[in-house]
Chains A and B, each alone.
Chain A
């Protein structure tokens, strides 16, 4: 019985640690008033960026630029409170924009 309790506790501890690590490596971007905030991020390789829509309308987070869409990631945020994420596993500069509102642009710098 003690052994089972130990395993359960250990499993919970590992799980919680993983959650904490996951949260720590996330970067947040809010989409509000038709703007990505912040619109420029500096992150480390392996970081996950989470975009959360605060506007009551659909926005997309599409990689590339309106002139040259890449769609390496293409997150659709269908309304207020919706969110989507992408993990950046390579270094470099990754522009993104909203396909529905091309004036909305941002950039992720991965070091």
Chain B
């Protein structure tokens, strides 16, 4: 009898140990790498939604709404810079923020150019945005040498093009086209966020071990 009880106890211990192991090593989405990937995707998509809200309000002359959207957009910029700083260091985050804000300034210039039918201003803003893509590519490539400058620049160029499509549709008072363009622009941000997250995780494996 004692032997049976002893055997049962051993079996129970083995079962509970197995359950604990499954709880520890089972599938989970709560990893630091997943947090980074979803975090970057959320921030970059939010950038599109808030930028579209700001340009839409600006083109419609809704000044109070434009100011509120612009402030929220800047909050998003600060969050993105903080995310960059949390990975590459505070210096990098500090350097990133003005660089990121710079492209928003060019988008504002483009919007003003379109709104005032000043094609020279709009063209200059587009040209500056295209040049900016090289700066952005250089920054991320310096931070993560595995990210080629030209590839990043091309991805950011596509971001510029998709955001420009939003503004053009808003200016044409075509809401159906504008919202379709917003979805396209937002979806494209995954093309930047995913490889960036993947590269960061590989570059700093210790930070994303779990």
Residues of A within 8 A of B (CB): 32-35, 54-57, 100-104
Q: Which residues of A contact B66 (CB under 8 A)?
A: none
Q: How large is the interface on B (under 10, 10 to 19, 20 to 34, 35 or more residues)?
A: 10 to 19
Please tell me if B138 contacts chain A, counting CB pairs below 8 Å: yes
The answer on a CB contact under 8 Å between A56 and B95 is: no
Contact of A35 among B91, B102, B135, B137 (CB under 8 A): B91
Closest to B145 in A: A56
Residues of A contacting B95 with CB < 8 Å? 33-35, 103-104
**B142-193 interface with A by 8 A CB criterion:** 142-143, 149
Chain A-chain B contacts (Cβ-Cβ < 8 Å), number: 40
**Which residues of chain A are within 8 angstroms of B134 by Cβ–Cβ distance?**
57
Where the two chains meet, the residues of B that have a C-beta atom closer than 8 Å to any C-beta of A are: 88, 91-92, 94-99, 102, 134-135, 137-139, 141-143, 149
B141 touches A33 (CB 8 A): no
Bound-state CA distance A33–B141 (Å) is 9
When the two chains form the complex, which single residue of A32, A54, A57, A102 contacts B135, counting CB atoms closer than 8 Å?
A: A57
With A56-B149, A57-B134, A57-B135 given, is the CB distance from A33 to B142 under 8 Å? yes
Q: Select which of B99, B141, B149 is within 8 A of A101 by beta carbon.
A: B99
> In whole Å, how far is B207's beta carbon from the nearest beta carbon of chain A?
18
**Known interface pairs A33-B88, A33-B91, A57-B134; A103-B142 also in contact (CB < 8 Å):** no
